[in-house]
Structure 1
Amino acid sequence: MSRRMKTRNAGELPEPATPVTEARDALLRRHPDLPRTDPTDTDAVERRAISAIATSDSVEAWRDVAIRWEDPAAEEDITDALLLCGAYRKRLDADERLLIDMTRRRGISWAEIALRLGLRDGRAAEERHHQLIAERVGEFRMRLLDPERTESAP
């Protein structure tokens, strides 16, 4: 049985504004011409924008990017894209931690996990897992110490 991701219904409240959502919205407002295969897929638009901005100073690098950014990218576009990168990294780290947990529960070896993650050996994969757990515990501690703290990820 396949699981479907929960989508926001039209009547639901919008997500609260965070620095990340503000950066994403600012990029999309400044550049409404960003190509979209699905107008509701803001993640795909963000990824394309980040790649295009990151490669805007290098003719060699942008050959493989789906869109070409103006040359050079504006400072506010660069800083907004950097903020989005941090949010993606947090989400990917959380997903990676969960996937490692799932693979271990299914008896998959640390060596196999290392191979899939591009790490040198099973010990490196295990260390990476411990690092991801420590980062998550640190986030929980920060929230306990400062309940007013706004999440940086959407």
Structure 2
Amino acid sequence: MGILMALGGIAPIVAPLAGGAVIEAFGRRGVFWVLAVIAAVVAVTVVVAVPDCLPAERRRTGGAAELGQQLRSVVRDRAYVGYTLAFGVLFCSIAGSPFLLQNVLGLGVGASSVAFSAGAVVATVAGAVSARSVGRVAPELPETLPGA
């Protein structure tokens, strides 16, 4: 998980800087046009180059009833719901950071991009340190804490 976090930290570092450059060059609407082009390229690449990896005999035809049953089993999984809520909080903070940095703290587009990227660098380094230390330090707390 730490390695995934470290690798996933590249986008939050680069994206605000690239987004700030696009906004400076083309305005806020330019970001949506750039994202639309990237999404189209990715969609075409997936359709053309990525084969279906699940064998035909293992595919489900399902329907709405099976979808509902699978959805209920996912929603009952407390660990999954917890991680989903944690990522929701993460994305809320990402979505709210431009408002905080620009409207509350008064930073410009470029400065807020650099500030957000600096935070992403810290998160990426923390993920890398966590990945390196997980072999030496237990990732879970014991059932009962000493002295409790």
Q: TM-score range by the shorter chain?
A: under 0.3
Comparing both structures, which one devotes a greater share of its residues to helix?
Answer: 2
TM-score, normalized by length of structure 1?
0.27
